[in-house]
Chain A
């Protein structure tokens, strides 16, 4: 048990007026100090390669999507946000997705799909804003998800540096 000795206040302290005046002077001075507000849509936070935004599909330099619709990301996804239907293609990889939907309302931006992908086809972009008028519009199909590789290059390089110990080569590198 601790017995706390309350400090006996002097008369001036009991009046509270000096303390109130001091408090008022502090808040008044703060009015003129520098503001720390960030005007968000106009001044967004700086995005770095570590920024893990929404997943996007890589479109290689030859214009083809890197995905072979193996379904690894679909299985890895803890939020069941990804739906893939595979189809045939004449390219040497033989398979490509005919349907690749990510329900952005389910996506938790965990990045498991990025980790799971064996073909470096899906990466977390730095795109963060997510707003629309209907739920249906927020289920992104393959056309909305496609991004040129150059746009994701910073993240790809970062992931490679991170995983360099066990990931020596890749089909799309």
Chain B
């Protein structure tokens, strides 16, 4: 077969598989969110559409598509239409560098052993750079709506992103210093056994990462961009129909990516605890399970903690997290450069 065509086919297949999984999970998360919230409040949750409410996301999708699309007077039409796409697409793009499983030991249409769309050498940097772009969608959506609530939501989102992206990057840098690579697969390869998992050598980094990831994905208790009691709906106040859904799709995709990233960076990615030479499909299952646990954490925290105040968020970001992350990076860097075994 023509090698170019073969390459194209393989990437096409991988993309279909991984993006299908991503969007399916995002749809499932909308149901899971409602189910988990219901359980925590002694309720049952959606159970009318399909068995156990499993077809609820499809019903929601149909509803979203058939709803009327509204645009406020004086809105910037072009940006208003673009913003949801700008918010959703980067969040989906970054899943491409996540390694889902170990090398596959058999040949499939040539030798493509890696179960990820691409193994970028600068995977982490790509992830942070592109993932950080999705905030533009939120800010532009807030600005283009010609509404005060939206604008305030967008402003808050930008301030929040800048504050917490710093912490996030500094924390990730500490992990990179330990593993010695920006390639996510290489990061996973340094955490083969459970004792080598970064969560044990970098507990502070893990804590900071989780909180920063919550802030970064606009989730409770840091969802100031869409804070209902103060800002109606924040940046998506004026959005309706499928464009509104796209914002949420972007948010859920960002959550899923963050869950995958925490698994990769701190919980040994696809390595199976206490079973070092596990077959590849067990590795993939382990990865998915760990990520699912993180996704559950997102829901769990959302339905437990109250929302912070915006000044508390800024205080926490700049006066607590940034110094801690810097200290953590400094200590890790010193330990690595002097050759101290961290664990």
Binding site for B on A (CB under 8 A): 20, 23-24, 26-28, 30-31, 33-37, 39
Known: A27-B40, A37-B43. 19 other contacts (CB 8 A): A20-B305, A23-B304, A23-B305, A24-B300, A26-B304, A27-B300, A27-B303, A28-B300, A30-B41, A30-B42, A31-B36, A31-B39, A33-B42, A34-B42, A35-B43, A37-B38, A37-B42, A37-B44, A39-B44
* Count of residues in B whose CB is under 8 Å from the partner chain: 13
CB distance from B268 to the nearest CB of A (A): 23
A33–B41 alpha-carbon span in the complex (Å): 10
Q: How far is the CB of A30 from chain B (nearest CB, A)?
A: 5
Nearest CB of A to B19, in Å? 31
The smallest C-beta distance from A95 to any residue of chain B, in angstroms, reads: 49
Separation of A20 and B38 alpha carbons in the complex (Å): 20
Determine the main DSSP class of A at the interface with B. helix
The CA-CA distance from A35 to B44 in the complex, in Å, is 7
Distance between Cα atoms of A33 and B303 in the complex (Å): 16
Digitize B78-115: 1 where CB-to-A-CB distance is under 8 Å, 0 elsewhere: 00000000000000000000000000000000000000
Contact among A24, A33, A34, A37 with B301 in the assembled complex (CB-CB below 8 Å):
A24
What CA separation (Å) do A33 and B36 show in the bound complex? 13
Smallest CB-CB separation from A25: which chain B residue? B304
Tell whether, in the assembled complex, residue A30 and residue B39 are in contact, meaning their CB atoms are under 8 Å apart. yes
Q: Mark B1-27, 1 if CB is under 8 A from A, else 0.
A: 000000000000000000000000000
User: With A and B bound together, what is the CA distance between A121 and B303 in angstroms?
Assistant: 53
A-B CB contact pairs (8 Å), 23 listed: A20-B304, A20-B305, A23-B304, A23-B305, A24-B300, A24-B301, A27-B300, A27-B303, A27-B304, A30-B39, A30-B40, A30-B41, A31-B36, A31-B40, A33-B42, A34-B42, A35-B39, A35-B44, A36-B42, A36-B43, A37-B38, A37-B43, A37-B44
B41 partner residues in chain A, CB cutoff 8 A: 30
> How many inter-chain contacts with C-beta < 8 Å in the A-B complex?
33
Residues of B within 8 A of A35 (CB): 39, 42-44
Most buried by B among A20, A26, A27: A27
Task: Report the Cα distance A33→B44, complex, angstroms.
Answer: 11
In angstroms, Cα B300 to Cα A30, docked, is: 11
Shortest beta-carbon distance, A152 to chain B, in Å?
Answer: 33
Compute how far the CA of A28 lies from the CA of B304 in the bound complex, rounded to whole angstroms. 9
Distance from B44 Cβ to chain A, minimum over Cβ atoms (Å)? 4
- Chain A residues within an 8 Å CB radius of B301: 24
Within B286-334, which residues are at the interface with A (CB < 8 Å)? 300-301, 303-305
B residues near A26, Cβ cutoff 8 Å: 304
| Set of chain B residues within 8 Å of A36, measured between Cβ atoms | 42-43
Which parts of B43-61 form the interface with A (CB within 8 Å)?
Answer: 43-44
Give complex CA distance A15, B40 in Å: 25
A20: B residues at CB distance < 8 A: 304-305
CB distance from B122 to the nearest CB of A (A): 34
Q: Tell me the complex Cα distance, A37–B40, Å.
A: 12
Shortest Cβ distance from B279 into chain A, in angstroms? 32
**Closest CB of chain A to B302's CB: distance in Å?**
10
Q: Among the listed A24, A33, A34, A39, which residue makes an inter-chain contact with B304, where contact means beta carbons less than 8 Å apart?
A: A24
Taking CB atoms, residues of chain A closer than 8 Å to B42 are 30, 33-37
For B304, the chain A residues whose CB sits under 8 A away are 20, 23-24, 26-27
